[in-house]
Chain A
Amino acid sequence: MYTYDEFDRTFIAERAAQFRDQVARRLSGELTEDEFRPLRLMNGVYLQLHAYMLRIAIPYGTLSSGQLRKLAHVARVFDRGYGHFTTRQNLQLNWIKLSDMPQVLEELAGAGVHAMQTSGNCIRNITTDQWGGVAPGEIEDPRFWAEILRQWSTMHPEFTFLPRKFKIAITGTPDDRAAVKVHDIGLRIIENEQGETGFEVSAGGGLGRSPFIAKVIRDFLPKQDLLSYLEAILRVYNAHGRRDNIYKARIKILVHDLGAERFAAEVEEEWAQIKDSYLKLDPAFVADIRSRFVYPEYETLEDDPAVLKTALSANARFALWHGNSTAKHKISGYAIVTLSLKPIGKPPGDATSGQMEAIADLADRYSYGEIRVGHDQNLVLPHVRQQDLPALWKQLDAIGVATPNAGLITDIISCPGLDYCSLANARAIPVAMEIAQRFAPIEKAQSIGPLHINISGCINACGHHHIGHIGILGVEKNGREFYQITLGGKADEDATLGQLLGPAIPYEEVAGTIERIVSRYLDLRLSADEIFIGTVTRLGVTPFKEALYALH
């Protein structure tokens, strides 16, 4: 965990106090809505279909148990007792009154939580691997660099009014769990031939109306130059990004229009001006940030302890969950545990206040008080002793977060869709729930193997449909909900955009169509070892078109 210092605490508290004053002036009529809107957005407050929504930042997806308890408390007292974890590692509360918002932000500030950088045309909350700091094979903990970027970007005066929002993701392992290739800037921590660690920098990725995979614009960036180089990218974007057309304002359009090579050359030219400025990272500053990341004092333990082996052979349900939802930890004797927020019959990514409190208690007991949020809308306990897994599983099972479906067809990523969002044109959550219901028997989902379904309720693509193995995009046609299906998308280190399968289908036919696509895959796969995306990559989308043609 990163520990805030007095500066951070004061800053967050002052921001909450400012917002109290701004809300009071809005409610009294002193501020018009046009004047107030940018102020509320800077504090994560949106106006949605039914009510105000508060999007709370969870920087690089790391929460303490105390912070999770506070989120649970706020959700219970000021909202309807649940929250929605998003693909941006944030938490959204859907029903908070504007008049309560100042108190909510003050309560959150008391726990070191805020809602800055969750909205507006600024550098947004920086996202990363939910296994940061614990993944085997990790070159370096990406959260450390995400924290440096957070401090640099929060309230950066030059980048508070960018042409559009700006998203940065960072990963520290060769396996990309943070979808860095579909971000405005994607950073991969790498090691060069001299054994030095630095960053491979990509730019111009993004989803939405015009999806692009980011292009590598620098193969190796020394760590000390991280801020100056990113500042150079932002300056080029700030100077040349289009402000005349909201649909062409993201950096991906600029990189595409200029070409990656020319864009990179412009960045290099700008960088040369500022490379040796105050932005060069001072080793003392870096060491100070590092010292604030407190890691658990791990015990010396062996892998596969006897209590685990016994439980695995004695309890088939536990063994099933263990095989699906735990992963190897960088420290022997420990495990990384995924908590599924995708139970059959419930909205993907949602957790009740009761669940959040229980998870906070379990984190204290079994994971050094730390919880992670993944962009896949699941939670993680990052430091669990393997010998504790049987006891932990029983308690996770009791609170409904031990569905052994991580990475399977029922582990669906979904935006809130038309059930909440004022931008959406179609529902997403009920589609996800219906598909999950069709594949509810866990043996069925397991026999299909890894398969990622991503659903968005509009072209803005908060549900990352372009990079789902199966992507589902809701559109509106003559007052009815229709859905476009794409196949072959990937969010990993070989990120790929899915291809459209055919004409959009109506709401009622989506789940059946997905069943036929899966059935076709089972017929076509070379063996049970060839996962869905492997079959689509090998054969293309054409053999799957009959799943749609059955309807038309």
Chain B
Amino acid sequence: MGRKAMVSPLQQKIRVSGPVVVTANRLSDGAVVYLAKSGLWTQELGAATVLWSAEEAQAALKAAQSDGLEAVGAYLAPIDASETAAQPGNLREFIRIGGPTFALPSAGPQRVAA
């Protein structure tokens, strides 16, 4: 599991000390999205643009925040970048991709008899 800071992005100062991606929630349904190389938003972390320097990260974030129609709440999320595939850089981001870390209550039979 990642050891990068996972303070709520709402309380975070922007610091870039490793690879990051721009992430947000899709306006229409809240789904987690990432800014892709194409400039469009994608749900695939692997398709996200990986940013390495503070300058390019800040610029990409600023552009994403000015969008406002496709996605909301854009911020920089740390990732663990490798040659094969990018992984979320901390537990918060793992949970955003994978959902809660336990089985949802509705998993299994739904209808119960009274």
Contacts and interface: CB of A to CB of B under 8 A. Distances in A.
Nearest to B5: A479
A95 B69 CA distance: 20
Interface of B: 2-10, 25, 27-32, 68-69, 72-73, 90-92, 95-96, 99-102, 104-106, 109-114
Interface of A: 26-27, 29, 32-33, 47-52, 76, 80-82, 95, 97-99, 346-347, 350-355, 357-359, 361-362, 365, 395, 398-400, 418-420, 422-425, 427, 429-430, 433, 458, 476, 478-481
A425 B7 contact: yes
A27 B29 contact: no
Given A351-B105, A427-B101, A422 B10 contact: yes
B105 to A, nearest CB: 4
A398 B114 CA distance: 8
Q: Give 7 nearest A-B pairs by CB, closest first.
A: A81-B106, A51-B30, A419-B100, A358-B114, A97-B29, A479-B3, A361-B114
B1 to A, nearest CB: 8
A98 B30 contact: yes
B18 to A, nearest CB: 12
A319 B54 CA distance: 65
Given A354-B111, A398-B113, A423 B8 contact: yes
A361 B106 CA distance: 19
Contacts of A97: 28-30
Contacts of B28: 27, 97-99
Contact of A425 (B6, B69, B100, B101): B6
A81 B103 CA distance: 13
A429 B8 contact: no
Contacts of A351: 105
A82 to B, nearest CB: 4
A395 B69 contact: no
Given A355-B112, A419-B101, 19 more contacts: A27-B27, A29-B68, A33-B73, A51-B29, A51-B31, A52-B30, A81-B110, A95-B30, A346-B105, A353-B110, A354-B109, A358-B113, A418-B92, A419-B102, A422-B9, A424-B8, A425-B6, A429-B100, A476-B5
25 contacts: A26-B27, A29-B69, A33-B27, A33-B72, A49-B96, A51-B31, A52-B29, A76-B110, A80-B104, A82-B104, A97-B28, A98-B28, A353-B110, A354-B110, A354-B112, A357-B114, A358-B112, A418-B95, A424-B8, A425-B7, A429-B102, A430-B102, A433-B102, A476-B7, A479-B5
B107 to A, nearest CB: 9
Interface centre among B8, B73, B100 (most CB of A within 10 A): B100
Contacts of B25: 47, 51
A82 B72 CA distance: 26
Contacts of A476: 5-7
Nearest to B89: A479
Contacts of B3: 478-480
A430 B101 contact: yes
A50 B113 contact: no
A427 B112 CA distance: 29
A32 B91 contact: no
